[in-house]
Amino acid sequence: MTSTAGGAGRLLAISDLHIAYEENRALVEELRPGTDDDWLLVAGDVAESVSSIEWALKTLAGRFRKVVWVPGNHELWTHPSDPVTLRGVARYEHLVEMCRRLDVLTPEDPYPVWEGPGGPVAIAPLFLLYDYSFLPEGCATKEEGLAYAHGTGIVCTDEYLLHPDPYPTREDWCRARVAETEARLAALPEDLPTVLVNHWPLDRHPTEVLWYPEFAMWCGTRLTADWHRRFRVEAMVYGHLHIPRTTVHEGVRFEEVSVGYPREWRKRPHPPGRPRRVLPREA
């Protein structure tokens, strides 16, 4: 854990930039901090290709005091259009090394401490994946859930492009990440609040508004359902759902900060591409 002063800045968050879309790439080109001390949390799904991910994070790291990134499922895809053909853990580690060259913090680095307004809080970037435990109603196993999803036609592209190598399955990779991360969070000082940043929500409740409830299977794990209570969480920042909003669950703020696809954000009343302020807390 490292301590880094936040000055008079703001702790901001955004996710699901999806810059393969030209309109979204333009949003990143226009994105600027409000003060010289602003930090930016990037909660995954920047892009599918390593070169595009690097461009976006390099651009943002050159503007914000500190950028913190966690992977989403799209970064972990081994997409046929990407010259980088690494799979699974090797792909993730490649992205981590890229971030270190850019001075962007990742889940593999010591947790920084935000000491600006609303601090001090430990900023914990997480990479946890999912384990198919958010099952559709009436399904008791992963196999039943997947069969139901295939029957409705709502199947996440992860099933074809997100490889868990060298783990046998994505849920095995998830459980290993959860165990490792839980130990790190438990080692934090007991009087230090946290902001947890993960691409997928740490509790199932945000998925209750999905148009297609079966998609929840690719949205997290029940293993983290009590983390917002256990680890003194000031805010849980996530994306993935493309439903930007603030909810309060058991007294804890859950901030969904995604931009989403142009066809989605064009329908919203507010301009797209604006990061959410996490700290100091909005009135």
* pLDDT tens per residue across span 3-55: 554 467 999 999 999 999 999 999 999 999 999 999 999 999 999 999 999 99
pLDDT at position 2, please? 52
Percent of the chain as helix, strand, coil, to the nearest 5: 35, 20, 50
Q: Average model confidence (pLDDT) for the chain?
A: 96
- The answer to whether 172 and 163 have CB atoms below 8 angstroms apart is no
- The answer to whether 95 and 86 have CB atoms below 8 angstroms apart is no
- The answer to whether 47 and 17 have CB atoms below 8 angstroms apart is yes
* Residues shown for the chain: 283
In this predicted model, what pLDDT tens digit does every residue of 75-132 receive, in sequence order?
A: 999 999 999 999 999 999 999 999 999 999 999 999 999 999 999 999 999 999 999 9
List C-alpha distances in Å: 124 to 4, 107, 110, 185. 14, 7, 9, 8
The confidence band for 158, taking pLDDT boundaries of 50, 70 and 90, is very high
Task: For residue 114, report the phi and psi dihedrals to the nearest 5 degrees.
Answer: -80, 120
- The answer to whether 243 and 276 have CB atoms below 8 angstroms apart is no
Task: For residue 162, report the phi and psi dihedrals to the nearest 5 degrees.
Answer: -100, 105
What is the distance in angstroms between the CA of the first residue and the CA of the last residue of the chain? 29
Q: Nearest 10 degrees: CA dihedral of 49, 220, 265, 81? A: 20
- The answer to whether 112 and 2 have CB atoms below 8 angstroms apart is yes
Distance between CA atoms of 252 and 122, rounded to whole angstroms? Answer: 16
Q: Is 204 helix (H, G, I), strand (E, B) or coil?
A: coil
Nearest to 162 by CA among 219, 77, 241, 269: 77
Q: Are strands 252-256 and 245-249 parallel, antiparallel or unpaired?
A: antiparallel
pTM score of the predicted model: 0.96
Nearest to 66 by CA among 125, 24, 153: 125
% of the chain beyond a pLDDT of 70: 97
Q: Is 242 helix (H, G, I), strand (E, B) or coil?
A: coil
Q: Which stretches of the chain are assigned E, i.e. beta strand?
A: 2-4, 11-14, 39-42, 66-69, 112-114, 121-125, 194-197, 233-238, 245-249, 252-256, 276-279
Q: CA 154: distance to chain centroid?
A: 22
In this predicted model, what pLDDT tens digit does every residue of 169-194 receive, in sequence order?
A: 999 999 999 999 999 999 999 999 99
pLDDT at position 4, please? 53
